């Protein structure tokens, strides 16, 4: 019986395939099996070996190609076969990536694993739009928030107050469906309605689009332009950098307000 293999949890980066780390790319090249997400750029799979087994496990709102328990089981199964496995996750594997759930079974069985960090969209998409999420004298704090969980009473009033008044720059992931609620909660807890805000969709890819305006009006911009996930909602004074420092050419039909 073969000894167990190893599982690499690799951050694929935010979309631009050139933003993967050198170590992440080496993991792809040496793997027997790659289990990859929807937001991992498929171009990266071109670096896999000819005999590498590719398993898609992408998730969309209300539709999972494979359930999380199935993914956990496949990781264990393939590793117990003595194979080198890469679990390729969009962005960084430790940011909203359910990595703990996938590690638990490996840990229990003594299967080796490594975590290879990746560049997360909350930093990269703003950078491609000319926005630095921190800025001297303007923004000394930055937070990433799971926007799809921002509804009802899932976040305490104390946390909303902290988001609104205690953090300079906020990046909401997967929050488009809740953007009006997010706007209302921030304003209700003291954030200035005129705070610069932006929505950046398909960040770092050829399809990147940026809509910028104010916190008060950002939900209407999203609705009027039909923006859908994947997108980052960015709130903070740093968003004002976009008009001056945007350095990539985006889709010509984007209107900035």
Transcribe 5-57 into DSSP letters. Answer: -EEEEEE-BSS-GGGS-HHHHHHHHH-SEEEE-TTS-GGGGGGS-TT-EEEE-
Is 255 part of any domain? no
| pLDDT confidence of residue 249 | 82
CATH of the domain at 94: 3.40.1010.10
Q: Are residues 80 and 139 in the same domain?
A: no
Residue 170 belongs to some domain of the structure:
yes
My answer on whether 109 and 133 are in the same domain is: no
Instruction: Find all residues with CB under 8 Å of 216, minimum gap 6, and list them.
Output: 183, 187, 193, 194
Residue 251 placed within a domain = no
pLDDT of amino acid 227: 94
Query: Catalytic residues, which ones?
Result: 37, 59, 174
> What is the Cα–Cα distance from 216 to 207, expressed in whole angstroms?
26
- Residue that the structure tokens 């019986």 belong to: 1
* Whether 184 and 130 share a structural domain: yes
| Shared domain check, 28 and 110 | yes
Shared domain for 171 and 208, answered yes or no, is: yes
| Domain C-terminal end among 82, 116, 150 | 116
Residue 1 covered by a domain:
no
As given in the structure block, the two tokens for residue 50 are: 């000819």
Is 256 within the bounds of a domain?
A: no
Residues 139 and 84 in one domain: no
**196 found inside a domain:** yes
Q: Quick check: is 130 in a domain? A: yes
Residue at a domain's end among 84, 116, 148? 116
**In CATH, what number is assigned to the domain containing residue 225?**
3.30.950.10
**Burial state string for 97-107 with b = 16 or more CB within 10 A and e = fewer than 16:** bebeebbeebe
Domain boundary among 116, 140, 169: 116
Asked if residue 140 and residue 189 are part of one domain, the reply reads: yes
Rounded Cα distance between 86 and 42, Å, is 14
Is 156 exposed, middle or buried, given 0-12, 13-18 or 19+ CB atoms closer than 10 A? exposed
- 13 & 110 share domain: yes
Q: Are residues 225 and 125 in the same domain?
A: yes
CA dist., res. 163 & res. 161, Å (int): 5
Each residue's pLDDT expressed in tens, for the chain with a length of 257 residues: 789 999 999 999 999 999 999 999 999 999 999 999 999 999 999 999 999 999 999 876 655 578 999 999 999 999 999 999 999 999 999 999 999 999 999 999 999 999 999 999 999 999 999 999 999 999 999 999 999 999 988 999 999 999 999 999 999 999 999 999 999 999 999 999 999 999 999 999 999 999 999 999 999 999 999 999 999 999 999 999 999 999 988 865 444 33
CB-based contact 174:202 (threshold 8 Å): no
- Using a cut of 0.95, tell me whether the model's pTM lies above it: no
Same-domain check for residues 158 and 104: no
Which residue bears the tokens 């809740």? 178
Q: How many domains does the chain have?
A: 2
Q: Are residues 138 and 194 in the same domain?
A: yes
Domain that holds residue 10: 6-116
Residues 171 and 95 in one domain: no
Q: Does a structural domain hold residue 219?
A: yes
Query: Parallel, antiparallel, or unpaired for β 196-201 and 209-214?
Result: antiparallel
């Amino acid at each position: 019986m073969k000894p167990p293999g190893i599982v690499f949890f690799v951050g694929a980066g935010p979309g631009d395939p050139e933003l993967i780390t050198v170590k992440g790319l080496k993991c792809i090249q040496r793997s027997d099996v790659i289990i990859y997400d929807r937001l991992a750029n498929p171009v990266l799979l071109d670096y896999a070996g000819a005999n590498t087994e590719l398993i898609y496990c992408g998730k969309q709102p209300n539709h999972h190609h494979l359930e999380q328990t199935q993914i956990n089981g496949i990781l264990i199964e393939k590793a117990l076969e003595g194979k080198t496995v890469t679990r390729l996750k969009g962005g960084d594997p430790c940011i909203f990536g359910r990595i703990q759930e996938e590690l638990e079974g490996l840990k229990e069985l003594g299967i080796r694993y490594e975590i290879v960090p990746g560049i997360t969209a909350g930093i990269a998409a703003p950078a491609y739009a000319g926005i630095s999420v921190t800025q001297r004298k303007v923004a000394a704090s930055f937070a990433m928030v799971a926007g799809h969980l921002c509804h009802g009473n899932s976040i305490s009033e104390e946390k909303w107050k902290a988001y609104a008044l205690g953090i300079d720059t906020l990046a909401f992931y997967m929050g488009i469906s809740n953007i009006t609620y997010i706007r209302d909660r921030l304003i209700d807890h003291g954030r200035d309605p005129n705070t610069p805000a932006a929505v950046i969709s398909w960040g770092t890819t050829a399809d990147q689009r940026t809509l910028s305006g104010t916190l008060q009006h950002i939900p209407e911009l999203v609705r009027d332009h039909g923006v859908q996930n994947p997108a980052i909602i960015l709130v903070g004074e740093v968003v004002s950098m976009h008009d001056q420092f945007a350095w990539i050419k985006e889709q010509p039909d984007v209107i900035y307000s």
